[in-house]
Structure 1
Amino acid sequence: MSRLRSAVVKGKKGRLETVETTIRTRKKSKAPVKEEPTTSSFPPSLYHTFSDPAEVVFLRSHLLRWYDKDKRELPWRTLALTESDINIRTYAVWVSEIMLQQTQVATVKDYYNRWMKEVNQMWAGLGYYSRGRRLHEGAQKVVLELKGQMPQTVDDLLKQLPGVGRYTASAIGSIALGQVTGAVDGNVIRVLCRLRAIGADSSSPAVTEALWRLANLLVDPERSGDFNQAMMELGARVCTPKGPLCSQCPVQSHCRSYHRVHVKQEQSAKELLGKLDMPDIEDCMNSGTCSLCPSEPWDDQLGVQNFPRKPPKKAPRAERTLTCVVTRPGEAGGEEYLLVQRPNKGLLAGLWEFPSVLLQEDNEVKQKRALCEEVNRVLRSCFNEHLLQYVGEVVHIFSHIHQTYVVYSMRLKDRAVTQQTPTEKRQWLTRPGLQEAAVSTGLKKIVKLFDTADSLKDKNSKDGKRQKPEGLKHDRSQKTKKSRPTAADGGGRQLSLSSFFKTVKEESS
C-alpha cells in the first residue's frame, strides 16, 4: 500500500510540474509579473492543489462560460472593456478596486459613477477614508512625477502607487493591462479554500502563499482579467459565506468540499438502509501534519462552510475618550468649530476631529484638566477648565474597539484670542463646512448629541426651569448658507480626467 501511495504521489507531482511549466511558458509572452516568494510551508501533499492539467483547463472553461452568461453589468467592467486609452482604463479599475475594499458592490456603484463623472471630493459616506486620501495622493504622484502616465506593470503599480498592495496591483494588472497574474481577495480565498479543502487558518502565511500559488496556477492566460473577476463573482454570488448555492456552482465537479458533503450524504443514506458498501471519502494523505489541513474536526452541519476556517475574533477592547466641542463667534455670524487632524497612520487616519484625549483617570477634576490642557495646546492658550461644560456620552463601535466618547463643550466669547494662522493640523469651520469636511461617523454622533443637549437647554430656558448656559446655542441660520469649502474642508476639486492624463509639458520642457 505504501508503494502504491508513493507511486500516486510521484505521478501527481510530475503532472503538477507539467502544469506549472506550461503556465510559466505562457507568461513569458505577456508583460513580466513579479515572481511570488517561495515558502517552505507549501504542503508536500498534492491534495490541496490541481495536479491534472486537464482539470485546470476544464475549470477555466466552466467558470468563464458561466461568467460570460451570468455576470453582473458593473460600470468599471464596462469601462475596462470599452476604454481604449490605457491610462484612463487603468485609473478606472484602480478607483473601483480602492472603493470596493471593505465595501459592498451595491454601495459602490453610485459613488463610482459620480466619482468618474465629476472627479471631486465625494468620498463622504463610503467610510475607510484613508483609501480616498491615498487615491488622491496617488493621482498627484501620477500627474507630478509620472508625467500623467499610469504604471503599466504589476511591479510598478506596487512600487509607485500609495495604498496599492498585492491584490490591488494584481487586479488592476490583469483587468486593465492584461497581465497574467492571479488575484486573491476575500471572495477568492473562500472559493479556493472550498475547491481544495483548505481548512487551516486562512490568514496564516502558509495558507496565504498556497492560495496565491493556486490563483496563479488557475488563471486563464488568454483572459486573465475575466478569469479573476469570474472568481470574485463566484464568491460574491454563489460560493457565499453563508447559504452557498452549490447546486448553481459552475465548478461544482472540481470542489473537494462539495464532494465530501455528497459522499457523507451517500454514507448516511446507505447506513439507514443497512448497506455496507459505502464510498470512501478522499482526504489529504498527510492530514494531521499538513499545514493546510483543518485543525478542527469536520462538522456535518456546516457542510462546505467548514472551509475556510478563520481564527476566532478577539473581543473589542473598551476605550473612553474625552472630547471637547470648542466654538467661537464666526466672522459672518453664527459659530465656528475647532477641528484637529488625526495622524496619517492608524485608526481614522487623516480625518478631522474635535480636540480629544484618551481617558486615563476616573477623577472628574483630572479629566477636565487633561482635556483643557489639550485644548490649550492646540490653541496655544491658557483657558481654565471651568469653561468646560459636560454634554454627555456617545458610544461608537469599531471592529476592534468599543469606544465611548465623553463629550464636553467650551464656548469662547472673544474671537480675537483664537486668531492664530490655520495650520495643516488645525482649522476652524462653520457649520456647513463641518458638514462637508472629512470626519468620522463618531464625530457626527458627537455633533448630534451636542445639538440635542443644546435643544434641551433651549427648552429649559423657555420653560423657566433654568437659564441656558451661554455658548451652547448654534445659529441655525448658518445651515441655510452655502459656504465655499476650502481645501482643508475637504472640498477642493481634483483634476478632470482629461487633465489628469495630459502630459505635464511644463515639467518636461
Structure 2
Amino acid sequence: MAKRKKEVSEESDFEAYNDGSDSDASYSAKTRKKPARTQVAKPTKRRRGTPAEERSVTTTANPHSRGTHVMQSSDKVRTALLGWYQLVHETRGMPWRKAFNPQRSRAERAQRAYEVWVSEIMLQQTQVATVIPYYNRWMEKFPAIADLHTPNDSSDPAKAAANIDEVNALWKGLGYYSRASRLLAGAQKVVKELGGLLPDNAKDMESKIPGIGRYSAGAICSIAYGEKVPVLDGNVHRLLSRFLMLHSNPKSKATLDTLWTAAEAMVDVKGFYEDTDYQNPGDINQALIELGSTVCKVQNPSCGTCPLKDLCGAYQKSSFATQHSQDIQDIEDLCSVCEPLPTGSFDVTLLPMKAEKKKSREETDIVNVVEWRRSIDSEERWFLLVKRPEKGLLAGLDEFPTMSNVSDPDSKRHSAEGPVEVLSSVLASPVRRSSLAAKTDEECVESSDSDVRISQVKRVGDVLHIFSHVRKTYRSQWVLLEGGCSPPPVSTKSSERMSRNKTTKGKQKKAESTDVTPVSGEARWVSIDQVDHANISTGMAKVWALAQSL
C-alpha cells in the first residue's frame, strides 16, 4: 500500500506524500454538517468569519445535480484501473505486496493479514521508500504475530516477550512512536484472546483490535481476505473528490459519506473466486491508493497518463472548459454539499477543497542534558536518561530530564533552579549548586553520594521540533555533576508528575502551562558512547547533537 495522508509529522524529518491527517483518525471523525448553500445567480463573496475567511475570495455559483457525485460506470472504471495497476504494482518493490490466493488456508490468510497490518501502520505519514527497510527488519525480527505475544513461561529466554523497548528500537527514526506501541498491544491481544489469528472481516477487525480504524480494517481485510470493503485514505479521498467533481468541506460528514459510498461502489464486484474475470477487492483498493499517490498527486498531477481521465469530472472540466452545470428538473435534486468554486480558470488541484487548518500551539520544554564525572578532567562520562510513560506522546521513549511546557522558560535558562528541581525527583539523594572545587579521583574512595554537586550549568541552545498539533521548542542546557565514585543512584520511588497550579480569586485553576518533571522510577545512567544507541526521539537526538558540538 502507499503512504497515508500527511499531517505535520510527530517526527517531522519524514516528508509525506499528501495533505491532511491520518485517515483512521480524521475520516472516521463526526463533524457537523454545514447548512446547504443557497443557489445564487452571480458571483458572490465568502461570508466573514475566521481570518482566513476574511480574505475576500471571489466565488461563483455552480448549480448541479447531486447525482454528479455518484459513482457511475463502476465496471468500466475498475477495468481501466486494474489494467493500469497490473503494469505498475511491482514498480516500487514493496515487499508486503503479494498476489491474492483464494486457496490459502485460514492461518495463511491471517499471516497475510499480519503482514499487511504491519505495512499499513508503518505507512501512516511515512513514504514507501522510508518504510521498506523498516518493514524488512521488523519481519525478520517478528515474522509472525505470535512473536509479539506475552508468553506464559517468561523463564525461557528463547521465548521472551517483545517489550516496548525492543519494539521502539526497531522503530527508531520512523516517527509516530505511538504506532509501535499500538501494534504491540494489538498483537498481544490477538494471541491472548483471538487464538493468534487476526479477524477475517473488517467489522471485527475495527472493533476488536486497538489502533485499527475503518480505513486500516478495510485495507487489511480486502487485501488479505478478499472481503468487499472499501478504503478511504488521503490518496483515495483526493482521487475520488476530483473524479466526482466534489468541492466541499473535506472533513464534513456529507463529504465523507459521499466518498465512502463511491469507494464502496468500486469494490462491489460480482463473481466468485473461480471466475476468470473476477476482480479482487484488495487489488482495486491498492490500485486506487497507488493511483492517488503516484499520479493524482496533490500538486502537479499527471493527468495525461491517468487511466481514468476520460471519466474524471475534474479532468474533463479543466481540459474542455465545460461549465459543469446541468438543467435541474427538480429543486430537490440540487446538490447541497458543494461550495461555490473560485472564479477564473479551473484546475484539478482546486479539488479537494482545502480545509482550514488549526494553528499549532506553541510550547517550550526545558531539556537538561545531565552529565556526571568524578572530576572535571575525568574520562569516565555518564548521562542521565528518563523513560517516558507508556502512553501518550513519544510513549516509552528515552529522553534527557525534561520540564515540559514551562510557563516561563527564560527564568530557568541560566539558573540552577530548574536542574535542582528536576534532579530532586530523579535522584535518590538531593544535589545542589556548588562553587567549591570537586574532589580529585584519588579522594574518591572517601567520598559519598552527598559529595555530588552541580558544578556547571551551560546553555546549549534551542531546537525547534514540529509535531502534528504543536510547535515544540526544546530549550536545552548542559548540567555537569561532579563528585562521588560513581553516578549518583536514581530514585526508586514510584512515578510522579509535579504540576503547578495557579490560584485566582481563591479558586484553584489548572495552569495553562504545566512544569512536568520526568518519572523518577524510570531513570538510568548510560555511558557517553551508548547515548546514540538509546531509544531517544528525533527531537532529543537533535538536542544531543547540539550538546556534543559544545
TM-score, normalized by length of structure 2? 0.65
- Matching residue's letter, 1:67: Y
**Structure 1 Cα separation of the partners of residues 223 and 200 of structure 2:** 12
- Matching residue's letter, 2:291: L
Task: Tell me if the contact between 1:41 and 1:291 (Cα under 8 Å) persists in the aligned partners.
Answer: no
- For the pair 1:156 / 2:204, whether they are aligned, the reply is yes
Task: Tell me if the contact between 1:337 and 1:434 (Cα under 8 Å) persists in the aligned partners.
Answer: yes
- Matching residue's letter, 2:222: S
> Secondary structure, in 3 states, of the residue corresponding to 2:69?
coil
| Cα displacement string for residues 326-363 of structure 1 (whole angstroms, at most 9, x for unaligned residues) | 23359xx8333222233444433332211111232233
- For the pair 1:292 / 2:340, whether they are aligned, the reply is no
Q: Which is worse superposed, 86-95 or 315-324?
A: 315-324
- Matching residue's letter, 1:200: S
| Cα displacement string for residues 121-161 of structure 1 (whole angstroms, at most 9, x for unaligned residues) | 42112111111121122222223333322222212221232
Counterpart of 1:108 (choices 116, 131, 136) is 131
Say if 1:178 and 1:435 are closer, same or farther in 2 by CA, change over 3 A. Answer: same
- For the pair 1:187 / 2:258, whether they are aligned, the reply is no
Q: Which runs of 5+ in 2 are unaligned?
A: 1-27, 37-63, 143-166, 270-278, 435-453, 494-519
- Matching residue's letter, 2:81: L
Correspondence for 1:373: 421
Task: Tell me if the contact between 1:197 and 1:293 (Cα under 8 Å) persists in the aligned partners.
Answer: no
Correspondence for 2:151: none
RMSD, aligned CA: 3.3
Counterpart of 2:316 (choices 239, 253, 259) is 259
Output aligned runs, 1:85-96, within 5 Å: 85-96=108-119
Instruction: State the 1:223 CA deviation.
Output: 1.2
**Structure 1 Cα separation of the partners of residues 190 and 221 of structure 2:** 16
**Structure 2 Cα separation of the partners of residues 111 and 37 of structure 1:** 30
TM-score, normalized by length of structure 1? 0.70
- For the pair 1:317 / 2:361, whether they are aligned, the reply is yes
Say if 1:392 and 1:328 are closer, same or farther in 2 by CA, change over 3 A. Answer: closer
Correspondence for 2:471: 402
Say if 1:289 and 1:377 are closer, same or farther in 2 by CA, change over 3 A. Answer: farther
Say if 1:90 and 1:328 are closer, same or farther in 2 by CA, change over 3 A. Answer: same
**Structure 2 Cα separation of the partners of residues 384 and 288 of structure 1:** 76
| Cα displacement string for residues 369-417 of structure 1 (whole angstroms, at most 9, x for unaligned residues) | 2442122122254222562512321322314433322222233333364
> Secondary structure, in 3 states, of the residue corresponding to 1:350?
coil
Say if 1:448 and 1:280 are closer, same or farther in 2 by CA, change over 3 A. Answer: closer
- For the pair 1:69 / 2:64, whether they are aligned, the reply is no
Task: Tell me if the contact between 2:490 and 2:524 (Cα under 8 Å) persists in the aligned partners.
Answer: no
Correspondence for 1:363: 411
**Structure 1 Cα separation of the partners of residues 255 and 171 of structure 2:** 34
Q: Which is worse superposed, 162-171 or 180-189?
A: 162-171
Correspondence for 1:438: 535
**Structure 1 Cα separation of the partners of residues 354 and 390 of structure 2:** 30
Say if 1:424 and 1:372 are closer, same or farther in 2 by CA, change over 3 A. Answer: closer
Correspondence for 1:449: 546
Correspondence for 1:282: 325
Task: Tell me if the contact between 2:65 and 2:326 (Cα under 8 Å) persists in the aligned partners.
Answer: no
- Matching residue's letter, 2:399: E
Task: Tell me if the contact between 1:89 and 1:176 (Cα under 8 Å) persists in the aligned partners.
Answer: yes
Instruction: State the 1:235 CA deviation.
Output: 0.4
Say if 1:428 and 1:112 are closer, same or farther in 2 by CA, change over 3 A. Answer: same
Instruction: State the 1:191 CA deviation.
Output: 0.3
- Matching residue's letter, 2:251: S
> Secondary structure, in 3 states, of the residue corresponding to 1:47?
helix
Correspondence for 1:477: none
- For the pair 1:308 / 2:352, whether they are aligned, the reply is yes
**Number of residue pairs aligned between Structure 1 and Structure 2:** 400
Correspondence for 2:395: 349
Counterpart of 2:284 (choices 222, 227, 235) is 227
- Matching residue's letter, 1:282: S
> Secondary structure, in 3 states, of the residue corresponding to 1:397?
strand
**Structure 2 Cα separation of the partners of residues 37 and 340 of structure 1:** 35
- Matching residue's letter, 2:370: V
Say if 1:438 and 1:209 are closer, same or farther in 2 by CA, change over 3 A. Answer: farther
Task: Tell me if the contact between 2:370 and 2:400 (Cα under 8 Å) persists in the aligned partners.
Answer: yes
Output aligned runs, 1:117-196, within 5 Å: 117-119=140-142, 121-196=169-244
| Cα displacement string for residues 159-197 of structure 1 (whole angstroms, at most 9, x for unaligned residues) | 232221111111101111111110011100110100111
Instruction: State the 1:209 CA deviation.
Output: 2.5
Output aligned runs, 1:478-497, within 5 Å: none
- Matching residue's letter, 1:443: M
> Secondary structure, in 3 states, of the residue corresponding to 1:293?
coil
| Cα displacement string for residues 478-505 of structure 1 (whole angstroms, at most 9, x for unaligned residues) | xxxxxxxxxxxxxxxxxxxxxxxxxxxx
Say if 1:296 and 1:378 are closer, same or farther in 2 by CA, change over 3 A. Answer: farther
Instruction: State the 1:241 CA deviation.
Output: 0.7
| Cα displacement string for residues 290-337 of structure 1 (whole angstroms, at most 9, x for unaligned residues) | 45313452552x61011012223344433222111123359xx83332
**Structure 2 Cα separation of the partners of residues 87 and 246 of structure 1:** 37
**Structure 2 Cα separation of the partners of residues 79 and 109 of structure 1:** 18
Task: Tell me if the contact between 1:48 and 1:292 (Cα under 8 Å) persists in the aligned partners.
Answer: no
**Structure 1 Cα separation of the partners of residues 389 and 521 of structure 2:** 11
- Bigger helix share: 1
Q: Which is worse superposed, 58-67 or 226-235?
A: 58-67
- Matching residue's letter, 2:66: L
Instruction: State the 1:87 CA deviation.
Output: 2.3
